[in-house]
Amino acid sequence: MQTDDDFADYARETWTSLVRAAVFLGCSPHEAEDLAQTTLVRCYTAWPSVVRADNRTAYVYRMLLNCLRDSKRRRWWGERPAERLPEPRDGRRDETAAVDTADAVHRALASLAKAARDVVVLRYFAGLSERETAEALGVPVGTVKSRLSRALAQLSADAHLTDLRPGFTPAPARSDAPARETT
């Protein structure tokens, strides 16, 4: 049947992206795979609606966020660092820095409020446009822009990400600051 073939092609195309987004939303790799699978099951059962959606990508990522919320309602998820991120299909990766980078990014994302983290993950890790992100979250585009602006400002000052910047050298302690008087 053509519909099943269309869905199978779509599922193969989006699997890695859904898993990566779920990892950046705070799931372990195994939980992320379960979440992506649950999302794709819901996509399959609602496939005619998914196909008719004005923006299929935003529709599916909204399903992913709803599945994540549903799963968190059913059980407690303690914060756990991810063991590893799903590999991109091209296989290129710097093995020596990957663990430190993943840890720093996860810690920095964990410091964001949930709404801000959702916007950052959908916009930059899932690659959605501002409009698609707004549709996925059910908020106006202006809200996406303001949340993203505040989140990026917070991330740019995050200590976990400081040493990931190219050419980073820690600033020396300021010696021109006035000494504090103690009495």
| pLDDT tens figures, 118-155 | 999 999 888 899 999 999 999 999 999 999 999 988 88
Contact call for residues 25 and 117 (beta carbons, < 8 A): yes
Is 54 among the domain residues?
yes
Cβ count near 132 (within 10 Å): 22
Is 42 among the domain residues?
yes
Contact call for residues 121 and 109 (beta carbons, < 8 A): yes
Which amino acid is present at 183?
Answer: T
Contact call for residues 19 and 32 (beta carbons, < 8 A): yes
Output the pTM of the full model.
0.57
What's 60's domain CATH number? 1.20.140.160
pLDDT digits (tens, 9 = 90+) for 146-174: 999 999 888 888 877 776 666 554 444 34
pLDDT digits (tens, 9 = 90+) for 64-121: 999 998 887 655 555 555 566 656 666 565 565 567 777 778 888 888 899 999 999 9
Domain count, the chain: 1
Which amino acid is present at 6?
Answer: D
